[in-house]
Amino acid sequence: MGAKTALLVYMDAGVSGAPRMTGTADSERTRELVRRLYPGWEVAGTSGCGLGDATYPLEGTAYIGSFPGTDIVCDRHWMGDYPTRLPQHLIDASVGRRMVVHWMHIVVDFCAFAVWEDGQLVRSLSLSPDSGVMEDIGERFAFEASYWAGEHPVERVAGWPAQGPYPLPFHPLELGEEALREFFGFVLEGRPSPEDIDPYEVGLRGFRLQDPQAPDPALRQAAIAAAVAQMGPPRMFRLGPDGSMVEIEAL
């Protein structure tokens, strides 16, 4: 399980179920979408790519596409722990439409998704094993039910450190993949169903974006370097003959 997402999608009120995006996003409509969602930002075009490769872009890069009835934004800039803390102008853009946020990150088993209908929040969920449930707002969707009912427990790997019970009744990334299919009609990992679209055949436009109010990049890099310096040495493991994980010395 290694998928990461930083997705923000708007769908017209007439779009029923998951959107059926095909082909490459319209260039002019996409640029107009960028102007509305990133007012005052420095914008430069760059190479685009398929949705399947675009869900978690490099920092400072976004992959965006406007399709009939659907607008999709892949940008880590908006990603956080709490979907309800999105900037208000992004939520305002959902008036008369449906807006869905979907965020996943494998490193911390983090998943969050949220849905607004006509500018009003109807559901927000955000959770990870380390932080627990950070948001659980609104009525749960039907596709969530079996996860909360304990039908998808996390099986521990023999010999892996910290062998206590998994802190959540399911793995957030498993629910995250189910949410991808429910909201957008595709998965990144696991077996696609015949009804799923192929996300690698949905072409998005690429943009380099710079927020004029963002902190100095040099200060950001310094903060990251300071955090890395405080980390302990790496730990490495190998699979033992009995199937357990055995710690080995790092080279």
pTM, whole model, 2 decimals?
0.83
Distant-in-sequence, close-in-space partners of 243: CB < 8 Å, separation ≥ 6: 158, 159
Amino acid sitting at position 43: V
Among 184, 178, 197, 196, which Cα is nearest to 111's?
A: 178
Among 194, 176, 193, which Cα is nearest to 56's?
A: 176
Cβ atoms of residues 103 and 79 within 8 Å: yes
Provide the 3-class DSSP secondary structure of residue 103: strand
Cβ atoms of residues 138 and 124 within 8 Å: yes
Tokens of 52: 């399947």
Tokens of 159: 């010999």
Per-residue pLDDT 10s for the chain (251 aa) are: 468 999 999 999 867 667 778 889 999 999 999 999 999 999 999 999 999 999 999 999 999 999 999 999 999 999 999 999 999 999 999 999 999 999 999 989 999 999 999 999 999 999 999 999 999 999 999 999 999 999 999 887 665 555 678 889 999 999 999 999 999 999 998 788 888 889 999 999 999 999 888 765 566 667 667 776 777 777 776 767 766 667 777 65
Instruction: For residue 188, report the phi and psi dihedrals to the nearest 5 degrees.
Output: -100, -30
Tokens of 128: 């990870």
